[in-house]
Amino acid sequence: MVVSGRLGRFVVVAVTLMMFLPMALFPQRPRGDSLLSGISSGKTRVLDLSYAINDKLVPWPGDKRWFEAQVNATVEKNGYFTRSFWMLEHYGTHLDAPIHFPPGKATVDQIAAKQFFGPAVVLDVREEGAKDADYQAPVSRVEQWEKKHGRILEGSIVLLRTGWAARWPDAQKYRNQDAQGKMHFPGFSAEAAKLLILREVSGIGCDTMSADYGASEDFAVHHLVLGAGLYQLENLSDLSGLPEAGAFLVVAPIKLDGGSGGAVRVFAIWQ
């Protein structure tokens, strides 16, 4: 069939629209969608970056009580099993909310939910940390990552992989205190924290007790990061299985009304 003139152009436009409109309305599944659908099929890898909570974890030096659980009902007595527990907000794998340090304001329940989902940027400083327990990851370490993987995306969550998880839950090795009681483990430098804030990341995290290095006295990273409205993840479990780039994080803190922070479950997914 030959269609010419104005009608022909109309037919061509109509046929083109019919062919491409469905593609415009129902585009190919985005990568994130296949990443999620791949979880049930096993195509997507899932890593839990949190420690199970019990009374044997490493508390901050000086804390007198950290975790207590008691059985309230048993199957034998009551037909069901329940417990009650008490714990510090900052114990085990936990999240520091902005209000934890001035001038931050948001409590753990007030952090925007979208901040809990983002690409994982893994800064591997295991070698540096093994040589120098007071290592503070400098700006150049962030720039090195960007040279390899591209500029850090807004909404990323930047994790410092120090290898300290290998010492967990041995309090002596994990805190690494000297004769004066000062702790020694690696952390972010204040300058690197400033650059990450400029990159508009959602949060930072580490496999040590603190985002600041152990010997810090001014907690400069805490003041900067929390002051800028970001959160910190501390005592993350073994990060050695994570790729330096390409994983996606799901951060799920307890929604504690008015909390300065709290227990958090962190998952990494990637293909």
Residues that bind Zn ion (CB under 5 A): 90, 96, 234
Query: Judged by CB, which is closer to Zn ion: 149, or 223?
Result: 223
CB of 95 to Zn ion, least distance (A): 8
CA–CA separation, 240 vs 263, rounded Å? 21
Query: Judged by CB, which is closer to Zn ion: 236, or 269?
Result: 236
CB of 242 to Zn ion, least distance (A): 21
CB of 92 to Zn ion, least distance (A): 10
Give the nearest residue (CB) to Zn ion. 90
CB of 60 to Zn ion, least distance (A): 8
CB of 42 to Zn ion, least distance (A): 34
**8 A C-beta contact, residue 258 and residue 125:** no
Query: Judged by CB, which is closer to Zn ion: 95, or 142?
Result: 95
- Say how far residue 28 (Cα) sits from the centre of its chain: 29
**8 A C-beta contact, residue 176 and residue 214:** yes
Q: Which residues of 227-240 are buried (b: 16+ CB within 10 A; e: fewer)?
A: ebbbbbbbbbbbbe
Query: Judged by CB, which is closer to Zn ion: 35, or 176?
Result: 176
Query: Judged by CB, which is closer to Zn ion: 208, or 248?
Result: 208
Structure tokens at 11: 């037919």
CB of 261 to Zn ion, least distance (A): 5
Query: Judged by CB, which is closer to Zn ion: 190, or 206?
Result: 206
Q: Do you know the residue count of the chain?
A: 271
Of the candidates 210, 214, 239, which has an alpha carbon nearest to the alpha carbon of residue 225? Answer: 210
**8 A C-beta contact, residue 135 and residue 124:** no
Of the candidates 265, 270, 269, which has an alpha carbon nearest to the alpha carbon of residue 92? Answer: 265
Cα-Cα-Cα-Cα dihedral sign, residues 128, 59, 226, 46: positive
**8 A C-beta contact, residue 230 and residue 201:** yes
